[in-house]
Structure 1
Amino acid sequence: MGRSRKDRKSARDEYTDDDTMSTTSTVSSSDFNNGPEVEGEFDESTLMDQYVEALYQKRASIREAGLKGLIDAFTSTDLTDFAEGQCETLSSRFINSVKVGAGNEAAQGARALGLLAFTVGDGSNAQQILADATPHLWKVARVGSSPAARSASLQALGHLAFIGAVDLEATEATMELLWSLINHRRSVEDQKTGINSPPASVKVSALMAWSLLLSTVDSQKVSSHHLQSSLPVLSSLLNSEDLALRTAAGESIALLYEMTNSSGFAGDVEDSVDDIVPPVSRPSNSSVASSARATVPEDEVIEQMKALSVHAGGKGQPKKERAALRSSFRELLAAIEDGVAPQVSVKLPAGNTLKFNSWTEIIQVNAIRRFLGEGFQTHMQGNPLLHEIFDFVPQSEKRNTLSTKEKRMLQSPNSVVSKARTEVMNRRRQNSQAQKIGDFSASGYNSD
């Protein structure tokens, strides 16, 4: 299902303005000024204009309210026409929030940029958003003081490149930026490199975004370049104390092995990665790349995975979470040893179901679900970009299915509907019997 970017073409159904701007919403005036809170009904186009206008205000709280309104709208409604008509304006205002905003505003601005790209699709608009936003998102990711803003900027970078990068060179340019944070080690060179040491949560976001882009790279390129340069670093991250970072590293390794095997480059499982991954040459004075100097044998990676499949949980972690982590690493181990990916199904409205059976697809759908959040269902139903990525055609009409409660209320023999139906049927029987008796009496009277 998941596809590389070069195979995708943007396709949009044409809607009228009435289709996308006909609903009404309730807005509070206190979101945008200091006046008393007054609620009223507004046409959605008016409300969207107010959100955009808020992005020009000096007060950060007003800009944040505008960003939140637009993010909610992009995740809950198909706003293709609105996004395409005001793409340049929206992109510049979102970038402004990334540039000048504090942690929360910068994080919201980064997410809004990604949602805008998802809405306009993989054409020239997305390419321009990527070009304009990358320097500012990367600055926040590199030297920002807020971990949340740094993570949001990295996620946005990954998705913008996933949608808007025009070729492999553009994709790998973003991957290199992300990798510099994944492979970063705290050192005296931090001031020289201009990178604030990233906490584990920031590395997780960078690694997930990197894996998303890796899933679009040609498998031969993965075999010849990314495997040999990435595996030693990812192996070291499996030893991290942060559980989320361990899991993200494990998923990236599973993806590397799957793509390498699909290219026909790798040998049997018993072969050593020494046959695939030669020692990685690095400058001797580079502490940032020190973890990638040595080759990591395949059996060592497998032993790491086996250990984590038995003892993946950290001390003090809930029992349920530890069990989920062990299960996750058992699946990752199966991918490396046997080339088997888990079967994943995602239920959608109208009885639709997405099914995935490769790590390439799983990495893509999980990344997009995390980024879109509650908007994933809406976008999967109406967004041509996602239809193209996952080779998915939604059903046009919803099935008339009832919940358990509705079935009990409407179909149970003791429900009000059933009792009313029984009463009507009894009345009909009584009327029918009375009519028959009347007809019989009339027939008997006439015969006399």
Structure 2
Amino acid sequence: MGKKPRSERRNGKKASGKRGKDEEEEEVLPDDFTILGSDDGGTVFGIDDWETGNANGIDEEGEDDEDGDETTQLEKNLEKFRDVLANVEDGIGGEKAGRKRESGFKLLFRTLTHYALGPSGVEIMEAFEGSVVPTVLASLKNSASEQYAACRVIEAIAVVLGGGNDAFFELVEPALKRVVMATGNQAQVRAAGLRAWSLAAFVCSTDFPSTIVLLDLCEAAANERYRGEDSSPLLRAAALDSWSLLATTIEDNDIASEEGRGPTILPLLQKALDSDSAELRSSAGECVAMIHEARLNLGVQDEDATATTRRYRRGSWDGTEFEVLIDEVKQRMAELAAESGHHMSKKAKKSQRSTFREYMSTLVDDENPVVTVAFRGGTLELKTWKEVIQLGAIRSCCQGGFMLQMSNNEYLQEIFGADVSVLNNGDGMSNIEKRMLLSKNSQASKDKDREMNKDRKKRSNVKNYFLDADGEDI
């Protein structure tokens, strides 16, 4: 009889001996497991539930905060952020109950994404980095849910700290590598570890060789088998997403030339498009779109050329050894863009068709994607797959705090070329004025509705006049 896989041998139950008093049976995490959600572990860090506002003076239900201006609210939230970080070492590292540690991670994640804003937020994070980061890394040895939460918190810390923080990346890299490489860990944990590792490299690291090593690992993890075992679709999708993110930091020639990384993994992506996992198919499609975009850019040498000239100078797969493979990929993606049937829910089919139509517009029509992010004072438009992929990684990390980070995080604004003076410039109206003039229940809206009703009645009377008129008027 052959040996069992290493993960089964490692996780097998002992033949004798009882489970410890505080040891609980390992919970299998669902595919949609998240760090978000309600906290049922009680008060943590000795801090009551003070999460009633954010830096923009808007509470959780979206209502305007009338107690003070945005500057005052920002100062309050930074103070709350400082209080949480000051209690992490005792509140998480010194807590024996796993449920409370998980609740502490949820609170920490929320404060990082919602309250660690601007240069002051970076300074506070740097001041407590020496106590917070080791505590978080120590939790990577606990339960699966804690491991997952710790990985998400590492992602958030990386975004808050910003670029040029090689020391932070060098500190977390070995621990995250162990999480990803350990075949005994659950797929959700390994996927979260790989995403945290790649995002920390993208944001904080300036070491190019480390990026190349991580790209190699992502390519290996995206295969059907990894480290002697069948690879989970969750891990494969995370590997492709991480590969796409890291590939945005290298030159187009290194991605899409004949010897580039893109053509090398095209056969892998073609197989992934046939997977039963919708997430894996979408990740593979996005990789193909970015590789094709990089291939098109290889044919453009003159940056000052007109749009028409640039289009007809773009690179092509025609006449290369990858031409047939690309045609097969196009055909498969066209099928996914129009897929129907009862094996998927209506929502899933709608999402898949919409997503793959965007990929097809680049792959077939050579069109750039257009993604618009609306802010209070304007919009930010992204027109390349590299930018779209970077934005998606930041959005996935920050969750509900995405807009706050984009509006206040100087490093993110630098990455996307955002003009903060325009994006954060509101209309100058106070909260009371907005209610009085812009609300659906305002007097101005009611007056406008009455005028429109009068106009409708007048038009209706004109149309129906012949019904009441006598014969001489007809």
TM-score by length of 1: 0.72
Write the mapping of 1:227-242 to structure 2, written as runs, cut at 5 A.
227-242=262-277
From 271, 280, 284, the counterpart of 2:318:
271
SS of the residue aligned with 1:86? helix
Change over 3 Å in CA distance of 1:51–1:303 after alignment to 2: same
User: Which of 310, 319, 336 is residue 363 of structure 2 equivalent to?
Assistant: 336
Q: Which amino acid aligns with 2:217?
A: L
Which one of 65, 73, 85 corresponds to residue 103 of structure 2?
Answer: 65
Q: Whole-Å Cα distance in 1 between the matches of residues 364 and 427 of structure 2?
A: 42
* SS of equivalent to 2:373: strand
Equivalence map 1:31-430=2 (5 Å): 31-32=43-44, 44=80, 45-59=82-96, 60-77=98-115, 78=117, 79-98=121-140, 100-123=141-164, 126-142=165-181, 143-185=183-225, 190=228, 196-222=229-255, 223=257, 224-264=259-299, 269=316, 271-274=318-321, 277=322, 297-311=325-339, 315-348=342-375, 350-394=376-420, 395=422, 396-400=424-428, 402=434, 406-413=439-446
Unpaired runs of at least 5, structure 1? 1-26, 191-195, 278-294, 416-448
Amino acid in the other structure paired with 1:257: H
Q: Deviations over 1:228-281 (max 9, x none)?
A: 31111111111111111111101101101111221229986571440xx5xxxx
State the distance in 1 between where 2:138 and 2:114 align. 24
Matches of 2:383 and 2:318, distance apart in 1: 25
Query: Letter of the aligned partner of 1:308 in structure 2?
Result: L
Q: After TM superposition, give the deviation of residue 161 of structure 1 in Å.
A: 0.8
What secondary structure is seen at the aligned counterpart in 2 of 1:346? strand
Q: Hey, what's the Cα distance between the residues in 2 that align with 1:375 and 1:329?
A: 28
Query: CA offsets, 1:192-211, max 9 Å, x none?
Result: xxxx5332122111211111
Q: How far off is 1:381 after superposition?
A: 0.8
Partner residue, 2:64: none
SS in 2 for 1:264: coil
Task: Quote the offset at 1:104 in angstroms.
Answer: 1.1
Q: Please list the CA deviations of residues 172-220 of structure 1 after superposition, one character each: whole Å capped at 9, or x if unmatched.
A: 111112221102427xx71xxxxx5332122111211111111111111
Cα distance between partner residues in 1 of 2:113 and 2:291: 32
TM-superposed CA distance for 1:155, in Å, is 1.1
Judge conservation of contact 2:274–2:281 (CA < 8 Å) in 1: yes
User: Contact 2:438–2:445 (CA<8 Å) still a contact in 1?
Assistant: no
After superposition, the CA RMSD in angstroms is 3.0
Q: 2-side partners of 1:52 and 1:94: how far apart?
A: 9
Which SS does the other structure have where 2:93 is aligned?
A: coil
CA, structure 1 residues 167+219, in 2 after alignment: closer, same or farther (shift >3 Å)? farther
Structure with larger Rg: 1
Between the two structures, name the one with larger relative contact order (CA 8 Å, sep ≥ 6). Answer: 1
Instruction: Give the secondary-structure state (helix, strand or coil) at the position aligned to 1:166.
Output: coil
Asked whether the 8 Å contact 2:86–2:128 carries over to 1, the reply is no
Deviations 1:67-108 (A, max 9, x none): 22211101111221211112232221111112x121111111
- Once residues 342 and 120 of structure 1 are traced to their aligned partners in structure 2, the CA distance between those partners, rounded to angstroms, is 29
Amino acid across the alignment from 1:90: V
- Name the CA distance, whole Å, in 1 between partners of 2:92 and 2:43: 12
Deviates most, 393-402 or 83-92: 393-402
Encode CA deviations 1:108-159: one digit per residue, 9 max, x unaligned: 1111111111111112xx3122222222212222324322222211110110
Q: Secondary structure at the match of 2:380?
A: strand
40 and 69 in structure 1: CA distance in 2 versus 1, 3 angstrom threshold: closer
Per-residue CA deviation, residues 362-402 of structure 1 (Å, 9 max, x unaligned), is 11111211111111111111101101100112235422464
TM-score, normalised with respect to structure 2: 0.68
CA displacement at 1:410 relative to structure 2: 4.4
